Amino acid sequence: MDVLTRAQRKRCMAAVRAKGTKPELLLCRLLDSLRYRYRLHDDTLPGKPDIVLPRRKKAIFVHGCFWHRHNCKSGRSFPATHPSFWGPKLKGNKERDRLNICQLRSMGWQVFVVWECQLRKRAEHVFTQLLSFMRNPTADKLAAHN
């Protein structure tokens, strides 16, 4: 049973942002400090990656653990209300992510996925991986997919 009223839940869900999230801004600041040129939310590419470096053909997705079903505490939680809606919704998000990444790779793009929990718990490790990804022309294998 939901502890919030319908109006409170609606306000709460409306506040969830797809752009300009704290994890995304953190990565942008890092890339800015390293003087990388990038674009945000390129809607010409599959999945509309959060950060795109067109000249390098690199795409970075910053995934929220709940919405994209990471294998962490937040990603394993499941809403108690409306399971008939949330089950297919969240499963569809995960499948769509997989297809978008496959499409990008088939187009010659390298993809790096960052999970919000990784930035909270091990930001320096993520930054190290990101730097390797940026500097290595075949760095797609280093993407943090777990």
State the pLDDT at residue 17: 65
> Would you state the pLDDT for residue 95?
94
Q: Give the helix ranges, DSSP H, for the chain.
A: 6-14, 22-33, 65-68, 73-76, 83-106, 116-121, 123-135
Sketch the domain layout of the chain as residue ranges.
18-142
Q: What is the pLDDT of residue 145?
A: 47
pLDDT number for residue 44: 94
Note the residue count of the chain. 146
3.40.190.10, 2.30.60.10, 3.40.960.10, 3.10.20.30: which CATH number matches 18-142?
3.40.960.10
Q: Report the chain (146 residues): mean pLDDT per 10 consecutive residues.
A: 70 66 85 90 93 93 84 78 85 93 95 88 85 76 46
| Close Cβ partners of 42 (under 8 Å, ≥ 6 residues apart) | 48, 49, 52, 54, 59
Token pair 């053909």 is found at 57
Provide the pLDDT for residue 57. 93
Q: Please state the pTM of the whole predicted model.
A: 0.79
